[in-house]
Structure 1
Amino acid sequence: MSQPSTILIADDDNGIRTVLTQALGRKGYEVRTTGHAATLWSWVAAGEGDLVITDVVMPDESGLDLIPRIKKIRPDLRIIVMSAQSTLLTAVKAAERGAFEYLPKPFDLGELVGVVERAFATPQTPATGAGRDADDERLPLIGRSPAMQEIYRTLARLINTDLTVTITGESGTGKELVARALHDYGKRRNGPFVAINMAAIPRELIESELFGHEKGAFTGANARALGRFEQAEGGTLFLDEIGDMPPDAQTRLLRVLQEGEYTRVGGRTAMRANVRIIAATHRDLSQLIRQGLFREDLFYRLNVVPIRLPPLRERVEDIAELVQHFLDQAMEEGLPPKTIDPAGMAALSRHRWPGNVRELENLVRRLAALYNQEVLGLEEIEGELAAATPPPPPTRGGEGEGLGDLVERNLRDYFSSHGNSLPPPGLYDRVLREIERPLITLTLEATRGNQIRAAQVLGLNRNTLRKKIRDLDISVVRGAR
């Protein structure tokens, strides 16, 4: 019978050591624990242990600093890093120094056990080393919420690859920041980072912007021009608002992704594309595919690794840290120091933030610039939030708000959330779908699931109603009320 695997745990929190010992012991592992990096190092140097779990902050040495020393003498020993610091830099440092996995504290115990089992089952691959200087503590992304922790872990896994990434999220969530982090901490960091916004370039010029053009390729082409692919040679090309790319350009981009080469507009010589592609959009590409506005084959080429950025309303626990970051930035730019009291911070946490982090940043900068007092409270916060929120449309005839008024108010909010950009195509169908589903569902409930009566109430053909029930994925429960 084979000996059980031994796990070495280093954490200065006795409670965590006890919990992990019990959980991993129940799985049949031998567990040894310590609260000091020096003890862990002595065990590893003596050849003990089959896997290491280490905290970052310990009394005598950082667990991150210990990893390179361990890898030097025992390169195949898998290391799992735990940390309450929970930043992107912590995740990146752990990955670049050779950690198998990074887990933020507090962690799910079942997840940690799963990571341990996966570590024993996965062949070890050597760390390639990448990223900025490990001592560079500038934070490209802010937040310690569970949603952001998952993004940090994903980014840490991707920095040493050239995999194509598609970043989705509402306007103002920080899609370009994520793209820059992938570049700045990756193996192409010494190359250029080139961004192009598909929504900001006239459709007829997009191919020339991407691939360049030869002299005389079209009217006004008086000289050869380099495209973004050439400008990004050896680095990263960030295709922002990819959902706005016209069909012809989509076809050419697909060919580049498939064959790894392109030609300038009006040119004949094929050129190799040595760039990493990162795409981003606030639009629903699946919906655009159904509408025939986006190529499905291009979507799968771009969406090798999807990253969804949560809207700020889904990570309200990050608001205080974001506010402090923006206040610190304002002070570095010469504005006087400011703080926000608990009542003001609570008001910020209650706000819906249709403009996401960008809206919060603008608000904080406005507060820092316009108010003399050092401590800002509920009155100032609510005043600025009210000033930045468009008023609801007036009700008609002095009566209560009707269905049309409610729809109009929500559509105004929807258009406001897009700032200066227009919503994606297909708005008419999306609005109808939002209204149709509850209308048909409630009518079926009122008729106790009788589709003939429901069709009569709605004024629809019975076959049309059946098709809508199927297309909208509506559950029909007979006899319900």
Structure 2
Amino acid sequence: METGRMSVLLVEDDMSIAIVITAALESEGFEVTHCQTIEERDRLLSEQSFQAMVTDVMLPDGDGIETIGRVHSLRPDMPVLILSAQNTLDTAVRATDTGAFEYFPKPFDIDELARTVRQAAGGGQGHVPNGEEPMGDGLPLVGRSPAMQSVFRMITRVMRNDLTVLILGESGTGKELVAEAIHQLGNRRTGPFIAVNTAAIPAELIESELFGHEKGAFTGAVARHVGKFEQAAGGTLFLDEIGDMPQQAQTRLLRALQSGRIRRVGGRDEILLDVRIIAATNKDLEPEIAAGRFREDLYYRLNVVPIHMPPLRDRPEDIDALARHFLQHAVNEGLPRRQLTQEATDLLRRQPWRGNVRELKNFIYRLALLAREDAIDAESVLPLLASDRQGLEGGGRAGGDIAGAISQWLSDERPASGTIYATAMAAFERPLFAAVLAQTGGNQLRAAQALGINRNTLRKRLSELSLDPEEFARRS
């Protein structure tokens, strides 16, 4: 265990409660180990040292209070906090008689629990200099807001089954993190997690990427290629930006989901699928269905369990924890250790964060790099905020040259090897076309001439990129 990090054992059978408690404790700087039974609890205590333990009373293999004696024999100096839904005087007395540090009847205040755990585990030990609190290395989801607790509850409902999940939300809200959490907590955690950005793969190659191909299936197919479905066998296949998938590939995907089988391009044999499907999109798919760009039957196949990721503007109470989380990650990547003053945090909470959590992360990294003092105050934050707003309003001119932008983009997005060109083109086209349409006042003919491409090609790409020329005409 790293110096300064405090470790807590959480014994809780209700996974919905466990996820919320874990998120709260990790945002306070704890490393959380979770188990669900007394037997597993005792094994962990005999093998590891913890600064505190949080346990429920009713566990699958016994009573958490009655077995506290074994806990004290294994770790006599470790404080214990007891949770219980049996909110009776008898339970409270039994918990107190065990010498528990604190007793929390359900429902309890999650912030109060986190503070009490820190008091129990701390005693001055594990305190990090300069007031900085490291974040946990568990699941990457951070947030205690009601909106995020709803997400946590949905995760607990799908993790023990293989139902198809559709994650909806704006770009930068953390849809892939939710997919990873479902995989890590589910029955397929020992299998691979394969993520595919379906918008980044050229239309003519997407079927080969997903389903594989046989040698000689098409020009350039010099060997058999195993697709993402087969690579994810026994695990989870995450189809990101599913709303941008080409129509032909949508048809093949629907057939695979209906039959539970795939066939490689150019192949004859059918391959039985053993994979969980999680899809995500930043688009509202119902208008896409109405416009004929997305298959309605595929939508209902994917939308078995929808999970809506809230935009950051709807969860401002999470910005403090997210900022500290990113400051710690910045340290891990070699940037100076920083902390935010309360005034700086309050300022961040008032921002719109159109790029959501991804924008906040990049901003915090820039703060960590450029700040002159270890304690970042509001006066240090304001110039960077002004620069970012100016860059957005001025078409990005304040952001530096193209080479710098590309370097930053590669660092932020980290596209998979073999997909960098296609991913970059998909990311580059939309702002490019938007800038040219803004210059031409939405006139597609003049925009096509300026770009040096065919007008029909421009019209097709604008439709695929969900860019409306009329919007630019209205602005002009």
Query: For this structure pair, what is the TM-score category when the shorter chain's length is used for normalisation?
Result: 0.5 to 0.7
> In 1, Cα distance between the equivalents of 2:394 and 2:334?
40
Partner SS state of residue 380, structure 1: helix
Shift of 1:139: 3.3
Q: Match for residue 331 of structure 2?
A: 331
Give the secondary-structure state (helix, strand or coil) at the position aligned to 2:239.
strand
TM-score w.r.t. length of structure 2 = 0.58
Report the CA distance between 1:301 and its aligned residue. Answer: 0.2
Question: Which amino acid is 1:244 matched to?
Answer: D
Decide whether aligned partners of structure 1 residues 357 and 285 sit closer, same or farther in structure 2, where only a CA change above 3 A counts: same
Contact 1:198 1:245 in 2 (8 A): yes
CA-CA distance at 1:384 after TM superposition: 1.0
> d(CA) in 1 for partners of 2:394 and 2:327?
34
Distance in 2 of aligned mates of 1:356 and 1:104: 30
The counterpart of 2:468, out of the listed 400, 422, 428, is 428
Structure 1 contact 283–424 (Cα < 8 Å) conserved:
no
Q: Report the alpha carbon displacement of residue 262 of structure 1 after superposing the two structures with TM.
A: 0.8
Deviation of 1:185 after TM superposition, in Å, equals: 0.9
User: Partners in 2 of 1:273 and 1:307 — Cα distance?
Assistant: 24
- Which of 70, 81, 87 matches 2:62? 70
Superposition pairs for residues 44-443 of structure 1, below 5 Å? 62-64=54-56, 66-70=58-62, 105=109, 138-389=138-389, 390=391, 392=393, 425-428=465-468, 431=471
- Report the CA distance between 1:408 and its aligned residue: 7.1
> How far apart, CA to CA, are the structure 2 residues paired with 1:61 and 1:211?
47
The answer to whether the 8 Å contact 1:289/1:296 transfers is: yes
Higher relative contact order (CA 8 A, sep 6+): 2
Letter paired with 2:286:
S
Deviations 1:148-189 (A, max 9, x none): 001001101111110000001111100100000000111000
Residue range with higher mean Cα deviation, 241-250 or 384-393: 384-393
Deviation at 1:71, TM superposition (A): 8.1
Matched residue SS, 2:280: strand
Q: Residue 56 of structure 2 aligns to which amino acid in structure 1?
A: L
For residue 62 of structure 1, what is the amino acid of its counterpart?
Answer: V
> 1:272, 1:431 → 2: CA distance?
46
Q: Distance in 1 between matches of 2:369 and 2:159?
A: 37
1:129 corresponds to: none
Q: How does 1:8-47 map to 2 (within 5 A)?
A: none
Alpha-carbon displacement from aligned partner over 1:210-267 (angstroms, at most 9, x marks no partner): 0000000000000000000010001000000001111111111101111100100000
Q: Distance in 2 between matches of 1:285 and 1:208?
A: 25
SS at match of 1:176: helix
Cα RMSD for the two superposed structures: 3.4
Q: Describe the superposition over 1:298-327 as per-residue Cα deviations: whole angstroms up to 9, x where unpaired.
A: 000000000110110110000000001111
Contact preservation (8 Å) 2:256, 2:262: yes
Shift of 1:368: 1.1
Q: Which amino acid aligns with 2:287?
A: Q
In structure 1, what residue type is equivalent to 2:468? Y
- Distance, in Å, in 1 between the alignment partners of 2:470 and 2:257 is 31
1:103/1:204 CA distance change after superposition, 3 Å: farther
Q: Does the residue aligned with 1:214 lie in a helix, a strand or coil?
A: coil
Answer whether contact 2:165 2:279 (CA < 8 A) is retained.
Answer: yes
TM-superposed deviation, 1:69: 3.1
Bigger radius of gyration:
1
Task: Report the AA paired with residue 68 of structure 1.
Answer: P
Contact preservation (8 Å) 2:211, 2:265: yes
Q: Cα deviations across residues 400-437 of structure 1 (Å, max 9, x unaligned)?
A: xxxxxxx979x99xxxxxxxx989645439959x99xx
1:62 CA displacement: 3.1
Work out the percentage of aligned pairs sharing the same amino acid. 52
Helix, strand or coil at the partner of 1:344? helix
Q: Take 1:151 and 1:198, find their aligned partners in 2: how far apart are those partners?
A: 24
Give the Å deviation of 1:372: 3.0
Partner of 1:13: none
* Partner Cα distance (1:175, 1:381) in 2: 27
Amino acid at match of 2:339: T
What's the CA shift string for 1:267-301, capped at 9, x where partnerless? 00000011000000101111110000000000000
Query: What is the CA-CA distance between 1:64 and the residue it aligns to?
Result: 3.4
Q: Deviations over 1:316-342 (max 9, x none)?
A: 000000001111112233333211112
User: 1:388 Cα deviation (Å)?
Assistant: 1.8
2:139/2:181 contact within 8 Å kept: no
Alpha carbons of 1:219 and 1:200: their partners in 2 closer, same or farther (altered >3 Å)? Answer: same
SS in 1 for 2:62: helix
For normalisation by structure 1, the TM-score amounts to 0.58
Q: Distance in 1 between matches of 2:149 and 2:108?
A: 7
Conservation of the 8 A alpha-carbon contact between 1:239 and 1:279? yes
* Amino acid corresponding to residue 392 of structure 1 in structure 2: E
**Displacement of 1:105 after TM fit?**
3.7
What code does the residue aligned with 1:428 have? D
How many correspondences in the alignment? 303
Question: Which sits farther off after the overlay, 323-332 or 269-278?
Answer: 323-332
Residue 431 to residue 105, structure 1, CA distance change in 2 (3 Å): farther
**Residue 386 of structure 1: how far off its partner (Å):** 1.5
Change (3 A) 1:338 1:423: farther
Equivalent residues of 1:193, 1:232 under 8 A apart = yes
CA contact (8 A) 2:57 2:84 kept: no
Is the partner of 1:200 in helix, strand or coil?
coil
Change (3 A) 1:306 1:342: same
- Deviation track 1:29-49 (CA, whole Å, cap 9, x = no partner) reads xxxxxxxxxxxx9xxxxxxxx
Between 423-432 and 337-346, report the one with greater CA deviation.
423-432
Separation in 2, partners of 1:104, 1:423: 50
- In the alignment, is the contact (CA less than 8 A) between 2:199 and 2:244 conserved in 1? yes
